Amino acid sequence: MAVRKNQVALSATERRNFVGAILELKRQGSYDEFVTTHNAFIMSDTDEGERTGHRSPSFLPWHRRFLLQFEQALQDIDSSVTLPYWDWTVDRTPNSSLGADDFLGGNGRSGDGRVTTGSFAFDGGKWPINVRVDGRTFLRRSLGDGVSELPTRAEVDDVLAMPTYDAPPWNSESDSFRNYVEGWLGPNLHNRVHVWVGGQMLSGASPNDPVFWLHHCFIDKLWADWQEQHPSAGYVPVDAPPGVIGLRDTMKPWNDVSPQAMLDHTKFYTYR
Ligand code: CU1
Ligand code: CU1
């Protein structure tokens, strides 16, 4: 059984293997397919129309499946690798361990935001930004510029205490755990972290920054924590209105994956 750990708990070897598998997936061309898929959903998910990846109840199961597929692609390269998570309530400064030279690299430089340290720096030659929303071919970050503070543990705990998974109108206006975690209402958890990192993380092509996976892994863990705290509150809606994914509906781009199939993450991995 795969165990997903906090990134601060990874050994130097585990960090090297994780980064190495990502670079190899990039070299093979498959990494950019994940960026393309994610960007397509960001562009098409809307509050009133079809919404599968974002702004909707399936935000959490969609990303759980997306991460699982990415993790399995890494494991095809190195079977020892699992996705680590970034607990940004603790590791919350630009100088945190996440940004070490042997891990994800640090902040972008002033002016153009170009990341110049770590394995994903443009000058290393291994991390061209191919799927992009503008002409810039280098990874960018501007930590803390768009919003100065990452969410706190107290804010996370308040959101975890919310008893209802989701609610009408099943979009960015819903008063619900899913919408508060996603960040359209309340203290803004998930969206705020994208803004705090800045650069490509602000766009639909956010998986261009490998920190995307560690951020979403923590969001996935928060969903698992919520499920444990609210065992009788399941995924809703069971039967959904047009545009929304109900419990047993198929989530694009897959043709055999429903939210129901993603509810129990322990079939695939556990968190430590
Ligand atoms: Cu997303
Ligand atoms: Cu995200």
Within a 13 Å sphere around the CA of 110, how many CA atoms are in the beta-carbon half? 0
Ligand nearest to the CA of 220: 2
User: What does the pLDDT read at residue 129?
Assistant: 98
At 267, give phi and psi (nearest 5°). -70, -25
Residue 90: how many CB atoms within 10 A of its CB?
Answer: 12
CA of 191 to the centre of ligand 2 (A): 6
Beta bridge partners of 85: 6
Which residues have CB under 8 Å from 216's CB, separation 6+? Answer: 63, 66, 67
Using a cut of 0.85, tell me whether the model's pTM lies above it: yes
CA of 189 to the centre of ligand 2 (A): 10
User: What does the pLDDT read at residue 152?
Assistant: 98
With contact defined as beta carbons under 8 Å apart, do 197 and 203 qualify? Answer: no
CA of 201 to the centre of ligand 1 (A): 10
CATH assignment of 2-95+146-271, among 3.40.50.300, 1.10.1280.10, 1.10.8.640, 1.10.490.10: 1.10.1280.10
CA of 61 to the centre of ligand 1 (A): 11
Domain positions in the chain: 2-95+146-271
User: What does the pLDDT read at residue 29?
Assistant: 97
Question: Model confidence over 114-145: pLDDT tens digits?
Answer: 999 999 999 999 999 999 989 999 999 999 99
User: What does the pLDDT read at residue 125?
Assistant: 96
Q: How far is it, in rounded angstroms, from Cα 115 to Cα 117?
A: 6
CA of 12 to the centre of ligand 2 (A): 27
CA of 80 to the centre of ligand 2 (A): 25
User: What does the pLDDT read at residue 133?
Assistant: 87
CA of 108 to the centre of ligand 1 (A): 22
With contact defined as beta carbons under 8 Å apart, do 238 and 49 qualify? Answer: no
Ligand nearest to the CA of 196: 2
Which residues have CB under 8 Å from 122's CB, separation 6+? Answer: 114, 115, 116, 128, 137, 138, 139
Q: How far is it, in rounded angstroms, from Cα 209 to Cα 216?
A: 12
CA of 27 to the centre of ligand 2 (A): 24
> Could you tell me the CA-to-CA distances from 98 to 3, 106, 152 in Å, in that order?
19, 8, 17
CA of 45 to the centre of ligand 2 (A): 13
**Two tokens, residue 42:** 């960001």
**Tens digits of pLDDT across the chain (272 residues):** 799 999 999 999 999 999 999 999 999 999 999 999 999 999 999 999 999 999 999 999 999 999 999 999 999 999 999 999 999 999 999 888 899 999 999 999 999 999 999 999 999 999 999 999 899 999 999 999 999 999 999 999 999 999 999 999 999 999 999 999 999 999 999 999 999 999 999 999 999 999 999 999 999 999 999 999 999 999 999 999 999 999 999 999 999 999 999 999 999 999 99
CA of 172 to the centre of ligand 2 (A): 14
Ligand nearest to the CA of 216: 2
User: What does the pLDDT read at residue 13?
Assistant: 97
Ligand nearest to the CA of 54: 1
CA of 192 to the centre of ligand 2 (A): 9
Q: How far is it, in rounded angstroms, from Cα 231 to Cα 220?
A: 16
User: What does the pLDDT read at residue 35?
Assistant: 98
Amino acid at 118: G
User: What does the pLDDT read at residue 96?
Assistant: 87
